[in-house]
Structure 1
Amino acid sequence: MSMNDTPENQKKHSRPLRIVLIIAGSLLLFFTVMIAGINFWLTDERLRSMIAEPLRETAGQEADIQSLSVTFFRTFPRFGIELKGVRIPDSSGEEMILADDLLVSLDLIPLLRNEISVSRLQMTGVFIHYRILPDERSNFDFLLSREPESVGTGAGYTFSVPEIIIRETSLYYTDENTRTELRLNGLEADMAFFYGEHIQTDMALFLESLSFARDGTQWITNLSLSLNQSSVIRSEEELFQILDAELSIRGLALDLSGSVSEWSSGQPLLDLAFNSSSENFGELLRLVPPHFMENVSTIRTDGSLVLEGEISGRVTDDSLPDIGFRLNVSDGFLQYPDLPQGVEEISFNFSFTNDLAFLSHFQAVTADNRIRASGQIENPLSDSAPLHLDLNADIDLGTAALFYPLSNHRIDELGGQLSLSGELSGNLHDPDSFTLSGLLKLEDGMLKFEDVPGRIEDFFFHAEASEERLFIHESGFRSGQNLFTLSGLISNPMSEQSRELDLKSSLRFDLESLRTFYPIDEDTLQMRGLLKSEIHLRGNPQRDDPERLLQQSRITVEGGYLFHIRLNQPIEELVFRAEGDGRRLAISEAGFRSGSNRLSFHGTLLEYLGDNPYADLTFDGLASLSSIAEIYSFEPWIQQLEGDAEMTIRSRGRIQEISTLELDGSLTVNSVSASGDSLFLPVTGLSGELTVTPEQMTLQDFRMFYGSSDIQLEGSVSDYMLFFRESNVNAFNDIYDTNVYPAINGIFKSNHLNFDELIDWDAEKSDDPYPVHLPNLTANTDIEITGITLFGLEIRDLHGTGTLSREKLALNRASARLFDGKATGSMTWNTTLPLATSVAFEGALEGVTAENFLRDTGFLGKNSTLYRYISGELNTRFQYQSKLTPSLDPDISSTKASGSFGMTGVRMRDHPIQRELSRFLNSTEFQTLTLDEWEAVYSIEESVMTLTGMSITSGNLGMQLDGSVHLISGELDYRATLLLPSRFKNGIASIISSQAASALELDDGRLAVPVLISGTIDSPRVGPDTQLIERIIRDRVRDGAEDLLRRLFRN
């Protein structure tokens, strides 16, 4: 320790440090308290009142802001407010302004005075859509119509935003009246804005993509731009002045200067100038669309480029300002990489004014080839703009490989001498007014593609044009034995309305030789055969039907062969011979073979190039279905298909009017089998013969197995083409325009029809409505089915006649064996209302098993459980009708039925009514009854079944019953008389008194006890009919009970 480091000196030296620490701590404490205070003061509610409320008042709509927060760190040392997820809709609720992120940097002191001073504004992910609506209003009108508040009155008032940053922004403009769309995407900008006596802006802007369309025409697509500019707006003088600006269009830079003034008059005055120059004219290639940029990006260029122009004058509703610019290229040069020569001496001068667009001295030279052009357009901005263009070229195509990459088009060699000289004149806006004159000639042409040994040789083309005609001298090409020629005359070639053709061509082509001069992969496609044609076209292609152009022409294909990798079998023996004249194409022979399949046809086509040709064709064919499946896959619907088909069919009529076609011939199928996802069960053994005439279709000996079910059909269909009429294309359509339908007559047979296998009943179960539409046909079919399986029920020996109409399905004179008995009768299903159908039955049952019938048919309603307690034989005659619910269940409330039934050999056990009778009589004898007889007459109406005269006897026990049961609720209302042996007298006396029991006694000692049965089927109640018993007692006292009972039972 130094002698000077005494405690007093140490204390003296440490004092300044303490002062510094105290000051720093105080400042830290101050800023900490200030930041905490600002966060406490600037609550979310206060921020929204300062920002969201003014936005709402300005926009007239509720501004949706996902989050508002205060930040110091991103804007230090200034105070910042960040908004995320901003959405401002227009008055209709459509998106108008969106922003992912807005960051505003504010000076703190003015903010404490409720004043806003912005030092930086940063916007990211902004989308603004300005729309002109059909009524000429815009979606921003409600903003622009609001009166702006005064921003200050002092002469020294200033406002500035020193830094504005824009990223990932899109601006859209849509005019729904003119179908105009302007799209600016990928906008990036750095700006500074100063507002005082004048408004000054500095901007560096880049636009990734600009697209413009109008009236369905896309004028600009994905054009990239950049702009650096400084400008001043002098509001009082109405002057916008560009101080310094550079506009770059896809890299082509333009210097801009000038001004816009006097805009309040509605006729702004423009005074703008632009210019650009470069020692490399290839800068122009930057203007090509992006999808072509890859093709030109590697081209080496040189030569001077000068572009300069000006726009001056007023913009009014009736006139444009004076526009003038000049584009000059001299000593231009371009060369593709890796090629020995380039295009040299490129030069042209293009000038444009309101009065004249003029191209002069355009030329390009390469490998002793020269192209020259010049032309002009008078008054190019007017509707009548006369055009005149001259073009001259003399090119040796054999030198093209020196300066152009032919390999881009898979061309290996190119040769020939091409000469072109011509003039084009007319109105720029009326192509029909164009006239063409000149000469186009190609001699000794040659073309060879890569990867093939042969050449297309002797290309020759010679055409002369005058103002009114284009004459093609004999032109074409030769390649080995192949030859194509073309010659003729085209009158008024530039006018679509008055153009006339008179052209002849001939072709002789060996299809196998195509691979020698055109690149075809033999592993993919193989062809053979000789194609010959002679075509003569004469007429106006715009005015005349296309087929009218064809005059006395022929086309043939002989020995044809075609194989493609997608075909499992080649198409062989392909032949086609046809002659055409006007609207008629006569096919004398056509056909092919593929594996074991053959198809041939011949006949005539009229108006064959129209929308609805008339055809008279005869087809002969033999098909192996398994090989067809190999050529064309039917998967996943059909995985396996086998069998043979043979046809001979003649078809006459309009192809698009199927219902008018006249068919003659036959179709025979043998041993067809199929399976797949579209078939619930496999089809096997399908065979049959179908013959057709224009009036009738006849099916003979049709047989098939569908799963375990066999189907046999024979019959005919008359008026069958009505299936295809317009109102009947959908066989289940609701709308019909005629009462005539196809009619079917035939026989349906089956040894076994398994509906449980044909239909997935579990999948069919549904309470959804199922509208019933019967097909548009009539039918009368005899039915013979040896066995049917339906819901597990076996039905045997079904015979009958089925009829079908538009609104009714019926089975008449039917008989079948079921439930160990026999059923006869008829059934009608009425479908007039598709969602409210009804059924009706009439017939008889003889000797059927009662419990099975009642269980499986639901005859007494789906809630009936009588089958659980009864056994024996049932004989009944009945009439039954009921409406069906939309889900095709019987509507019991609408059911009406009547008839009689009787049962023999009946045994009833433990029915709820039996149990209640046993309780009432205090005896178990009624719990199990073997009935000697059970007869009754019944009727069903309004959900109630009424029994009349029902008589049951079991040994010395008996019962007579009348009354009703509700088939839905199960409520009982029966009056019955029990016939009981004398041993029941004491028990009955204990219930109704000894006097009453004696009054109910018959001459033979039995008791006739009146009872009432009420309650429900599952919970019945049995009690004495006290009113009747009292009346019997009174009558006995008066007349004698024996006589009364004798009259009651006629014993």
Structure 2
Amino acid sequence: MKKVAIGFFIFLALLFAAAALVPLLFKDKIKLALDQQIAKSINAKVLYNTDDVSVSLFRNFPNISLGVDNLMIIGQDSFQTDTLAQIPAFDLGLDLMSVIRGDQLKINSVTLDEPVLRLVVLKSGKANWDIFIPDSVAAPTDTTASDFSMAIKEWNVTNATLYYDDLSIPFGLAGYNVNHSGSGDFEKDVFDMVSQTTADRFTMTYDGINYIENAKLNAGVTLAMDLAKSLYTFKDNNIRVNDFPFQFAGSILMPADDIDLDLTFNATETEFKNVLSVVPGMFTEQFNDIKTEGKLSFDGYVKGRFNETSMPGFGTNLKVTEGMFKYPDLPQAARNINVDMSIDNKDGIVNNTNIDVRKFHLDLGKNPVDAKMLVQGLDPMKLDGNVKASIDLTEITKVFPVDGMTLRGLLKVDADAKGVYSKTSMPVVDADMRLTNGYVKSKDFPAPIQNLNVIANILNKTGNTDDTRINIENFNMNLDGEPLSGRALVQGIDKPAFDVTIKGILDLTKLTKIFPQEGMTVAGRINANVSAKGKMVDIEAEKYDNIVASGTMGISNLNFVSTDLPQGMKITNANATFNNERIQLQNMNGYLGKSDFKADGYIANYMGYAFSENQSLKGNINLSTNSFNVNEWMVDENTGQTVPATASVAEQAQGVVEVPANLDITLNVNARQVKYDNLNLNNVNGSVKLKDQIARLDGVKFNTLGGSFVTNGSYNTQNIQQPLFDFDLDIKNLKFKEAFDAFNTIKVIAPIAGLLEGTFSTKFDFAGEIGQDMLPVFKTLTGNGIIDVVRAAVRDVKVVERISALTRFDELRNFVVENRRLDAQIVNGSLVIKPFDLKVGDIEMKVGGSNNINGQIDYVTALNVPTGKVGQELNSRLAGFMGGQLKTAERVTLNLNIGGTLSEPKVALAGGTVKEQAKDLVKTAVDNKLNEAKANLNQRKQLAEDSIRNELNRRKLEAEQKARAEIEKKRLEAEQQIKKKATDKVGGFLKGLQKPAAKPDTATTGN
């Protein structure tokens, strides 16, 4: 028995040892297969660190578990600034035997923990998840199968966040705390796939309106899968949104890119309470206690083909009969809820959608609300509807809980609309809204809004957009003894005339306590007395003399913090005066985050910018600060945490900083200190001009790292996918090593700076492209300039050590260069140093060459030395090069080729010549490198110019076509006007003929 026990424990030890060793033995192989499959199959940036890859036999026994932490997938082309997926923990369960056999690795399971997925479809229909490389793109010679075989039997997604935004429809979904699990045998052609999905919060949006908001989702779906036919049929399924359950029947067929849908759906329960649960704001903790009555029916269909150019037909019907709901703690109920509506689209063309609300009625206490609406088509939209309501706001709080809020006042709405809504027309509309003696009080603030009165009307009698009249005849309120009033009249839509007045005090602190803003904190006071009257056509033509605008605005202690601006902004004081053309800004001071600022100046064309799509906001602002911390504004878009500029690409918030369009503003900056990453820039001053999506720097000066900088240049984001920059720098007395440590460009272009001790000055012009990580694309860099070496101590540099070892010249191991000027060029990212002279003791040197962005160096050095310094071995080799013995009194030139890298240089003797040839030899070698680099650059430029020329021709043709269409449109309009005038004149003449003859005036008739 003892031997059996010992043997058993030995077996267990071996088993655990094998389980621990197998992952280690096969980790490199599995990771290599993963990397190969990503490169072969995915056209996107897949970012992860090698240290975050793990392999285990215990985590998913009997499968081998391949885990990848902190995985990120970033799109390409149009989506190169978008993070498609951010997955803290990703796990593949691999079949153990497939790993041991060494054939295809079989994936049995997939697990994702806390992923954030952002799915986007552009207006063009292009989707950001379309990242898989089709088989046809693979190289013809690559006949190997995939490194992975999909044998998935189960998958799990836990605590996911999902965003889906389809701009082509436009439609959006958002799910939070999503959990999804599924099972099925994907090694078979026919099987059942069972899945379960839940979400704590689920929102569905169409055209900017939330139709489902923060609902709970619970969906159990079983699909009959026929992989050979690509046919998927709904079997048992039950989907529940809040308390509203429904199910699908039918099938999805997708053998190719097209998707054929033949689906029906219907509610599985018929109580009114079920549909009430999906009404925004109704599904609260009290929902189960709400008393309801009434019945509902809900059904619909989706039928047809879905692809890039077509949508399936769809329709739904909803009926509610004698509905009622009453909250247990409130005295009155909403009764007589009757709804009869349908949405129908037979052909899948979105514009052919019909919406028919045949009946909508409810009584809020004693207040009836009635509406009906028929919408035929969406663009153009034929509309016939009306809404009538007379509501005592006090009654609403008796029916529906308004937590912590007291409401009073009488609200009347009476609106009718009939006609066609399009870009050039709108329905005949007569809509009145009147609020009388409004009163709003929040439990969070002791003072109420009182005397709230609004009288507004929208009127259009003809259906012509220019005949629309929007009149807010009166608006006034009183908040804690401080009045605010205003009025606005707008006539016309395309080219409106306006007459607006606002006067009073708006206390944002008090107002936001009454009406809290989610994700936003606002405080402060605005005191305004502003009026404006004029026509939009005069603003567009910049005829500001025809506009009457005047007023003043004062801001004090304005604080603003939001999820999009977590650093916060505070304006301690600001005063502004308005006239027709500009806003004069005075005495503005405050904080952006923790950085102080002061500003004054003017903003011009503010009305053109506000009311027109193609006019720029102009201005000239003087901006000063004692200390500005740029690091505070480098915020990760997912976590809200600050990210240092030196963080990895995966850690940084991806994307280019875009210069806003429609700005023509000059900022005159004066900053005592600016902190950026680990740099302190002191005494920053100069001008930055923002115009045409270009930021231009003019005479920007600052001090840092003990040196002084002056720069001019530009940053161009007119093409956001390929932003450009060009700068000229004038730097004085900067230390080599500190420059190397601080600037990525120097690390890549001139890495030798990290090996030198001393200071330099430079005047250099350079230009290139900016990548999506806001770093230069080094292979595109071009430039030229001079580098003045004030003093450089060369010691412990491998290049000169190798030269010294080869030549046996010990003085070359350590030497000092002083007051030496270098001419240099950057071509295609390679730094080319033109030939320059050095003297170390009695050794005269001529040096020139280049180093590229891959770290390779290619230099030529000519050493002119007395013959007596040359050792016997080197003397013999030189004699072989020169064809004879060297004379003792001669000086000899040693020509050296230097290659490799700075860390692993390769130095070789090229030959010896007379002294006079050394200069030419180095110059010829450097010129050859320059000519080669310039030829490559010219080729790239030609390709870029051809691309730009083609784009300009396309735009020109498009503009000409638009111009011809506009001329034809105006010609037809002119013809119609002429015909109308002629018809009116003829009609008037005929009416005149039909009038009875005038009777003679008896008082003036003769005898």
TM-score, normalising length: structure 2 = 0.46
The structure whose RCO (Cα within 8 Å, separation 6+) is larger is 2
**Larger-gyration structure (1/2):** 1
